[in-house]
């Protein structure tokens, strides 16, 4: 990187700290627990979709089982804290490690599958985990779930309100964002991109595709578990319902709407799906009194169809569509992304 | 990197804009409410017309929509009527109903939205999972909540649930009613069959405990999935087990299927269902096999058969008449839970005024002998459901209709 580009970088770097600071100042300005919780939920989903984005967008593997990993994280926290009295931080660690371990075990055979079969394999896994939550009565509380999860405490700081949770979750989101930013610019990132373009070509080039796909799978499971653990601490109650197949589909939807293989796609996808849902929740009863989700889904579907027609590569793909001058800077190669997807 | 940097900036700015949109659109009114609530209350006292806010989070769509829809219809009917009659102490009531799509995370967001709107109390949810998920939020925000779901863990332990009440009978009430029947007929060996979900699970747990206490032996225990199409294997085991009666904890359609299988196999022992089959659909789907089935049920289904001396009689008949006039169909027990929740809260606001803590205290301390649809409510600091065994009656199905057992 030459000196000129370094200077440019510093100059352009002004934009994002300003935006991030503005964003982080939101809780001080918006004095609304509701909006802060909406942002918390967006953050939680972003963490999962970031992992899923690596798996789908870079390693080119789809997963319809991430609701299961999300649930494993949630249940790990619930069981460890309420049944065994673990310290919340340890329980959160378990929530990250357990899904990772399980992903490592099932990853090898599952990732040998391709396309539709892989989708079905991961879907089966998700349903399996969901069934286990329902059936392991003694351990998971069966369909009634586990209540009374304590708040997360880290070194005397108890995360017992929405504002504290907002900062916790968005700190994690930003951390993951920059971790991934580094990852995709590294050797591993380029290798992953190669797999998504053509697995055979990548193998010919000497990339151990099996190992890399497994790594991406484990990484995405770790993130889903982390989000699940944080969810359990936030709601203080888990039951099998939020971790089913629908949830897995929703995560894939967020990843696709946001834009596969785009850096900010996960954030945009999660934000759009959650905000749209909330917007429609209050907007529709204003038009049709007493109406519920059955009308919401129509509007939701319409908006998604329109979006996919005009933005087939997802929201995060604005660099690819706009013909702004920044398109012509050598920045793209710097990031390690080819210009066309 | 520079491109990336711009992207992050743009993304966060986009989200900022969306949020600003959300504030400007949906929350503008609630924000203003929050800011001027104090003043409005002052003025309201003088003018007597500031509206009271009540919120409801209902499972209108999704898995539990069959519960949520009659609840929503009941609430809409009641709030219209209340406002026509002049509201609460001259204050009109503004009821905001939000759909949680039968999902827990959605329920948490919805209840927070309502609390921002400065609701005096929250009604909901229709099912147990979303109700449980809202508890932490209402406890922290100190907002009274009246759930319409069955699980007893929603209001227990009361020490951790001071702000939470519920109007649906807990499983234990149904179980006690069934146990009374079994003991009266000296049936000590029973088979227990239940569907494998929250409802069946709760019934099984409550019945097992109560059976042990009352010296009733469970000689066969079988479960089935909500989607199962044939329960003959489970019933074969029951037949072999020498049970004197079969207890089934399920809702239609699986409850109807097992009843058909039961008749087809020629089992002659009494078949006792739970209150989960307390709707006409059960009888229709069982295609005649439901004849002779015994079940505990809320008094709503047999309103015309209960004696005039019953304090609930008048309430039940007026609810049925109103509901039929408006929606041209019979109300069911779920709508009844909503009726009770709404009326309890309205009665509490009437006496306590627009103050959340006072409403909670009023609900807990002064709800006694309240004749509702689901029963006579007697709340106490130890019991936030307040319904006893007398809130249910035993009925037998005869000629496709509920027949009160004396």
Domain-embedded: residue A30: no
Q: How many cross-chain Cβ pairs, A to B, lie less than 8 Å apart?
A: 201
Domain-embedded: residue B140: no
Domain-embedded: residue A313: no
Which pLDDT tens digit goes with each residue over B109-154?
899 889 988 999 999 899 888 999 999 899 989 999 999 988 888 9
Domain-embedded: residue B265: yes
Contact criterion met (CB below 8 Å) for B246 and B236: no
Question: Which single residue is written with the structure tokens 């660099």?
Answer: A319
Q: Which domain holds residue B189?
A: 171-286+391-395+400-404
Give chain A positions within 8 Å (CB) of B98: 281-282, 285
3-state DSSP helix/strand/coil percent for chain A, to nearest 5?
Answer: 75, 5, 20
Which pLDDT tens digit goes with each residue over A80-116?
999 899 999 999 999 999 999 999 999 888 888 877 8
Q: How far apart are CA A104 and CA A124, in angstroms?
A: 16
Tell me the residue ranges of DSSP E strands in B142-278.
145-147, 164-166, 189-195, 217-224, 245-249, 271-273
| Residue B49 backbone dihedrals phi, psi, to 5 degrees | -135, 5
Report whether pLDDT(B272) > 60. yes
Report whether pLDDT(B48) > 90. no
Q: How far apart are CA B95 and CA B71, in angstroms?
A: 13
The pLDDT value given to residue B12: 59
Best CA proximity match to B303, nearest among B382, B195, B226, B395: B395
The pLDDT value given to residue B230: 92
Token pair belonging to B86: 């002049």
Would you call B166 an interface residue with chain A, using a CB distance cutoff of 8 Å? no
The pLDDT value given to residue A78: 95
Q: Which residue of A has its CA nearest to B73?
A: A290
Q: Which residue of B has its CA nearest to A325?
A: B3
| Interface probe, candidates B13, B15, B37, B66, chain A, greatest A C-beta count within 10 A | B15
Mean pLDDT of A171-194: 89
Best CA proximity match to A46, nearest among A235, A217, A250: A250
Instruction: Average the pLDDT over each of A174-183, A300-309, B247-256 and give the range with the smallest value.
Output: A300-309
**Yes or no, beta carbons of B23 and A32 under 8 Å apart:** yes
The pLDDT value given to residue B152: 84
Q: How far apart are CA A53 and CA A41, in angstroms?
A: 18
Domain-embedded: residue A222: yes
What integer best gives the mean pLDDT of chain B?
A: 86
**Confidence bin at B278 (pLDDT 50/70/90):** confident
Give chain A positions within 8 Å (CB) of B68: 292
Domain-embedded: residue B234: yes
Report whether pLDDT(B321) > 60. yes
Q: How far apart are CA B47 and CA B51, in angstroms?
A: 11
Tell me the residue ranges of DSSP E strands in chain A.
146-147, 152-154, 157-159, 237-238
Query: How many structural domains are present in chain A?
Result: 1
Report whether pLDDT(B295) > 50. yes
By Cβ distance, the residue of A142, A275, A335 closest to B3 is A335
Token pair belonging to B127: 């099912």
Domain-embedded: residue B282: yes
Q: How far apart are CA B201 and CA B152, in angstroms?
A: 12
Please give the residue that has the higher pLDDT: either B387 or B6: B387
The pLDDT value given to residue A136: 84
**Confidence bin at A18 (pLDDT 50/70/90):** confident
**Confidence bin at B227 (pLDDT 50/70/90):** confident
Q: Which residue of A has its CA nearest to B8?
A: A16
DSSP-assigned letter for residue B50: P
Helix (H) or strand (E) holding B122: strand B122-123
DSSP-assigned letter for residue A239: -
Q: Which domain holds residue A51?
A: 39-243
Q: How many of the other CB atoms lie within 10 Å of CB of B263?
A: 18
Report whether pLDDT(A121) > 70. yes
> How far is residue B385 CA from its own chain's centroid?
11
Domain-embedded: residue B178: yes
**Confidence bin at A323 (pLDDT 50/70/90):** very low
The pLDDT value given to residue A311: 80
Contact residues for A166 (Cβ-Cβ < 8 A; gap 6+): A26, A27, A36, A39, A40, A43
> How far is residue A28 CA from its own chain's centroid?
26
Say what the ipTM of the complex is: 0.76
Please give the residue that has the higher pLDDT: either A12 or A175: A175
Report whether pLDDT(A302) > 80. yes
Query: Distance from B50 to chain A by nearest Cα, in Å?
Result: 20
Domain-embedded: residue A63: yes
The pLDDT value given to residue B138: 94
Domain-embedded: residue A273: no
The pLDDT value given to residue B35: 34
The pLDDT value given to residue B27: 39
Contact residues for B250 (Cβ-Cβ < 8 A; gap 6+): B193, B194, B195, B199, B200, B224, B226, B258, B273, B274, B276, B277
**Confidence bin at A230 (pLDDT 50/70/90):** very high
CATH number, position B195: 3.40.50.2300
Residues 2-31 of B with CB under 8 A from A: 2-16, 18-19, 22-23, 25-27, 30-31
Q: How far apart are CA B70 and CA A290, in angstroms?
A: 11
Q: How far apart are CA B124 and CA B85, in angstroms?
A: 24
Best CA proximity match to A149, nearest among A99, A91, A94: A91
Report whether pLDDT(A50) > 50. yes
Domain-embedded: residue B231: yes
Query: Distance from A18 to chain B by nearest Cα, in Å?
Result: 8
Report whether pLDDT(B344) > 50. yes
Mean pLDDT of A261-276: 89
Report whether pLDDT(A325) > 50. no
Query: How many structural domains are present in chain B?
Result: 1
Mean pLDDT of B357-381: 93
Please give the residue that has the higher pLDDT: either B172 or A288: B172
Which pLDDT tens digit goes with each residue over B12-40?
556 666 665 555 544 333 333 333 333 33
Q: How far apart are CA A49 and CA A68, in angstroms?
A: 14
* Alpha carbon distances (Å) from B15 to A30, A177, A255, B251: 14, 16, 16, 44
Mean pLDDT of A232-250: 90
Give chain B positions within 8 Å (CB) of A161: 140
- Rg for chain B, CA atoms, rounded: 24
């Amino acid at each position: 990187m030459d000196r000129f580009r370094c200077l440019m970088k510093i100059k352009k770097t002004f934009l994002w700290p300003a935006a991030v600071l503005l964003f982080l100042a939101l809780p001080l300005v918006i004095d609304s627990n509701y909006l802060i919780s909406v942002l918390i939920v967006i953050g939680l989903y972003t963490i999962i979709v970031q992992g899923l984005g690596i798996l789908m967008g870079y390693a080119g593997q789809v997963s319809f089982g991430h609701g299961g990993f999300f649930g494993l994280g949630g249940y790990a926290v619930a069981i460890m804290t309420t049944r065994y009295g673990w310290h919340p931080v340890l329980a959160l660690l378990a929530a990250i490690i357990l899904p990772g371990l399980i992903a490592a075990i099932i990853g090898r055979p599952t990732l040998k599958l391709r396309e539709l079969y892989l989708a079905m394999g991961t879907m089966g896994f998700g349903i399996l985990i969901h069934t286990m939550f329902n059936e392991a009565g003694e351990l998971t509380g069966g369909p009634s779930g586990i209540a009374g999860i304590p708040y997360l405490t880290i070194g005397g700081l108890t995360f017992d309100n929405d504002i504290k949770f907002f900062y916790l979750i968005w700190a994690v989101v930003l951390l993951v964002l920059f971790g991934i930013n580094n990852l995709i610019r590294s050797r591993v990132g380029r290798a992953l991109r190669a797999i998504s373009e053509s697995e055979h070509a990548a193998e010919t080039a000497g990339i151990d595709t099996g190992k890399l796909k497994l790594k991406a799978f484990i990484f995405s499971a770790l993130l889903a578990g982390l989000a699940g653990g944080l969810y359990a601490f936030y709601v203080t109650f888990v039951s099998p319902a939020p971790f089913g197949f629908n949830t897995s589909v929703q995560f894939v939807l967020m990843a696709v709407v946001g834009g596969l293989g785009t850096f900010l796609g996960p954030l945009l996808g999660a934000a759009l799906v959650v905000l749209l849902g909330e917007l429609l929740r209050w907007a529709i009863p204003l038009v049709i009194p007493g109406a519920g989700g059955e009308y919401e889904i129509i509007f939701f579907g319409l908006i998604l169809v329109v979006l996919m027609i005009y933005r087939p590569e997802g929201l995060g793909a604005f660099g690819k569509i706009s013909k702004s001058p920044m398109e012509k800077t050598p920045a793209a190669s710097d990031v390690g992304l080819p210009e066309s997807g | 990197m520079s491109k990336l940097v711009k992207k992050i900036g743009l993304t966060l700015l986009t989200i900022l804009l969306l949020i600003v949109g959300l504030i400007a659109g949906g929350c503008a009114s609630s924000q203003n409410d929050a800011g001027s609530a104090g003043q409005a209350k002052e003025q309201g006292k003088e003018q007597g017309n500031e509206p009271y806010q009540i919120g409801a989070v209902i499972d209108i769509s999704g898995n539990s929509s069959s519960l949520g829809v009659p609840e929503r219809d009941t609430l809409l009917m009641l709030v219209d009527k209340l406002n026509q009659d002049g509201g609460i102490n001259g204050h009109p009531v503004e009821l905001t109903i939000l759909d949680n799509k039968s999902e827990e995370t959605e329920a948490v967001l919805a209840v927070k939205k309502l609390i921002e709107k400065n609701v005096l109390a929250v009604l909901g949810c229709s099912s147990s999972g979303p109700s449980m998920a809202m508890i932490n939020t209402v406890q922290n925000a100190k907002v009274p909540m009246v759930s319409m779901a069955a699980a007893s863990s929603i209001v227990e332990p009361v020490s951790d649930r001071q702000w939470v009440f519920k109007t649906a009978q807990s499983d234990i009430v149904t179980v006690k009613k069934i146990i009374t029947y079994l003991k009266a007929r000296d049936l000590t060996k029973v088979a227990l069959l239940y569907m494998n979900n929250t409802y069946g699970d709760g019934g099984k747990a409550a019945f097992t405990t109560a059976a042990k206490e009352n010296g009733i032996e469970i000689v066969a225990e079988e479960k089935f999935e909500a989607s199962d199409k044939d329960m003959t294997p489970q019933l074969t085991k029951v037949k072999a087990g020498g049970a004197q009666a079969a207890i089934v904890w399920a809702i239609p359609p699986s409850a109807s299927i097992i009843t058909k299988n039961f008749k087809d196999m020629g089992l002659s022992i009494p078949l006792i269902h739970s209150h989960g089959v307390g709707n006409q659909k059960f009888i229709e789907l069982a295609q005649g096999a439901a004849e002779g089935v015994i079940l505990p049920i809320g008094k709503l289904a047999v309103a015309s058969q209960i004696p005039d001396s019953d304090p609930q009689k008048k309430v039940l008949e007026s609810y049925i008449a109103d509901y039929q006039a408006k929606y041209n169909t019979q109300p069911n027990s779920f709508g009844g839970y909503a009726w009770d929740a709404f009326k309890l809260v309205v009665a509490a606001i009437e006496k306590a005024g627009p103050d959340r803590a006072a409403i909670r205290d009023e609900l807990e301390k002064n709800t006694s002998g309240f004749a509702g649809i689901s029963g006579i409510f007697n709340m106490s600091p130890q019991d936030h459901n307040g319904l006893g065994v007398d809130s249910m009656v035993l009925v037998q199905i005869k000629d496709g209709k509920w027949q009160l057992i004396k």
